[in-house]
Amino acid sequence: GQNIDQPTEMTATEGAIVQINCTYQTSGFNGLFWYQQHAGEAPTFLSYNVLDGLEEKGRFSSFLSRSKGYSYLLLKELQMKDSASYLCAVTDSNYQLIWGAGTKLIIKP
Amino acid sequence: GAVVSQHPSRVICKSGTSVKIECRSLDFQATTMFWYRQFPKQSLMLMATSNEGSKATYEQGVEKDKFLINHASLTLSTLTVTSAHPEDSSFYICSARVPGGRETQYFGPGTRLLVL
């Protein structure tokens, strides 16, 4: 079956760095997405990886290793507003988007 | 990024009534749109894939006669919750896929439905 695993919840301190991991097992691979979802709101697009390596976008970076079925989202200089759920999603061979359950990130002052 | 709007943002209705939710892609044409439902503190659940000019593809367990989807144009998909009941109360979110390239989905702001 198709499966995406990410931690349920993480806690970090304001100003610090946090890495949210995502592992996947899907039938084929056509890209991996990270979305941010604040409580009560719809998800917003953060990043897309289809080739191995690190994609940097401001304070957020996303890494992909296709051979390991692994990705991480790295958040630097954490701010209180970064408290949200972070969703990992993979596009399979049929271009279906398979969603992880999300990681709730709690930022403490 | 691409902009997707959704209307209404919030609706309260009586049990037994039907509710229509609109999803529009504002600055691009979306041949494919998606409808999700999300209960409090739970993950997104894909309900159906809406394809312009053809019938929607529903996920297992989603009643197609209860959740009517119409994708009449390249910028508009509608979801109608027919004969709504309190257990249909949820956060309904649509997304539209930008054609070509990354197949990125952009989400509308969501519609919070409360059925009394």
Residue B98 pLDDT > 70: yes
Using CB atoms and an 8 Å cut-off, which of residues 5-64 of chain A contact chain B?
30-31, 33, 35, 40-45, 48, 50
CB contact set of B110 (below 8 Å; sequence gap of 6+): A41, A42, B6, B9, B38, B91, B92, B93
Whether B107 and A31 lie within 8 Å, measured CB to CB: no
Q: How many whole angstroms separate alpha carbon A8 and alpha carbon A86? A: 10
B 55-94: CB under 8 A from A: 91, 93
Interface test with B, best of A30, A38, A97, A104 (most B CBs within 10 A): A97
For an interface test with A, the pick among B102, B113, B114 (most A C-beta atoms closer than 10 Å) comes out as: B102
| pLDDT class of B105 with cuts at 50, 70, 90 | confident
Question: For each of chain A's 109 residues, which pLDDT tens digit applies?
Answer: 789 999 999 999 999 999 999 999 999 999 999 999 999 899 999 999 999 999 999 999 999 999 999 999 999 999 999 999 999 999 988 878 899 999 999 999 9
Phi, psi for residue B59 in degrees, rounded to 5: -75, 160
- Secondary structure (H, E, C), chain B: CCCEEEECCEEEECCCCCEEEEEEECCCCCCEEEEEEECCCCCCEEEEEEECCCCCEECCCCCCCCEEEEEEECCEEEEEECCCCHHHCEEEEEEEECCCCCCCEEECCCEEEEEC
What is the predicted pLDDT for the residue at B14? 96
Residue B42 is predicted with a pLDDT of: 83
CA-nearest residue of chain A to B110?
A42
Q: Which tens digits make up the pLDDT trace of B44-83? A: 899 999 988 888 999 999 999 999 999 988 899 999 999 9
CB B96 within 8 A of CB B23: yes
B103 in reach of chain A (CB within 8 A)? yes
Q: What is the rounded distance in angstroms from the CA atom of residue A88 to the CA atom of residue B111?
A: 22
Q: Does B7 touch chain A (CB under 8 A)?
A: no
Contact A42 B110 (CB under 8 A): yes
A45/B106 CB distance under 8 A:
yes
B46 contacts A45? CB cut-off 8 A: no
DSSP label at residue A82:
G
Give B1's pLDDT tier (boundaries 50, 70, 90): low
Chain B contact for A4 (CB, 8 A cutoff)? no
Q: Is A105 exposed, middle or buried (0-12, 13-18, 19+ CB in 10 A)?
A: buried
Using DSSP's 3-state secondary structure scheme, residue A27 falls into coil
pLDDT at position B58 is: 95
Whether B11 has a pLDDT exceeding 80, the answer reads yes
Among chain A residues, the shortest Cα distance to B99 is held by: A95
| Residue A84 at interface with chain B, using a CB cutoff of 8 Å | no
b/e burial code for range B41-68 (CB count within 10 A of at least 16 → b): eeebbbbbbbbbeeebebeeebeeeebb
| Partners of A62 in beta bridges | A55, A73
